[in-house]
Amino acid sequence: MTNVLAIGGYSDSDHAALEREFSPIFVGNSEDVAKLPDDQRQQITALGFMGHHPFGGPEMDLLPNLGVIANYGVGYDAIDVAAANARGIKVTNTPDVLNDDVADLAVALLIAQGREMLAASDWVTSGNWGEKGSFRLARKISGGRAGIVGLGRIGRVIAKRLAAFDMEIHYTSRSEKETPGWTYHADPVSLAKTVDYLIVALVGGPETENFVSKEVIAALGPTGILVNISRGSTVDEGALLDALESGAIAGAGLDVFLNEPKIDPRFLKLDNVVLQPHQGSATLETRQAMGQLQRDNISAFLAGNALLTPVN
Q: Which residues are catalytic?
A: 231, 260, 278
Residue 302: is it exposed, middle or buried by C-beta count within 10 angstroms (0-12/13-18/19+)?
Answer: middle
Cβ atoms within 10 Å of 289's Cβ, excluding its own: 17
Closest alpha carbon to 73 in 89, 49, 47: 49
Angle between helices 153-163 and 99-114 (to 10 degrees): 50
Strands (E) across 143-280 are located at 145-149, 168-172, 183-185, 197-200, 225-228, 251-254, 273-275
Coil/strand/helix, residue 242? helix
CA 185 – CA 148 distance, rounded (Å): 10
Asked if 190 and 216 touch (Cβ cutoff 8 Å), the reply is no
CA 221 – CA 195 distance, rounded (Å): 9
Asked if 119 and 136 touch (Cβ cutoff 8 Å), the reply is no
